[in-house]
Amino acid sequence: MDLDVRKLDELLEVTRENNKILRSMRSAQRWGSFFRFVYWALILGSIFGTYYYFQPTIQKYMKTVQTSAGILQKFEGAAGTIPTDMQAVKNLLGR
């Protein structure tokens, strides 16, 4: 009988110790999740903040790129009327 009580007391002690360890692990997991969320919120917030800060400059460069693309398309259209093969060039020169 004394052996059973001792084993039960030992089992109760181990169970309480395990419960304490599990609670601390769960607490660490919660804090880790919280800080991971804060980490990604800071990263994404800084990306969007930087974009918002530089948005006028970005729009100016985008307008410049679009204008340049339009000019290049006009040149390509004009270049399409220039004969490219040698026979057409010879015919133009009269040879």
How many residues does the structure list for the chain? 95
Assigned domain for 34 exists? yes
Residue-level pLDDT at 94:
73
Residue 94 included in any domain: no
User: What is the model's pLDDT at position 3?
Assistant: 82
**For residue 68, is it within any domain?**
yes
For residue 40, the enclosing domain spans 2-82
Structurally, the chain folds into a number of domains equal to: 1
Distances (CA, A) of 7 to 4, 14, 17, 35: 5, 10, 15, 42
Q: Is residue 53 part of a domain?
A: yes
**Tens digit of pLDDT per residue, the chain (95 long)?**
788 899 999 999 999 999 999 999 999 999 999 999 999 999 999 999 999 999 999 899 999 999 988 888 887 776 666 656 666 777 777 76
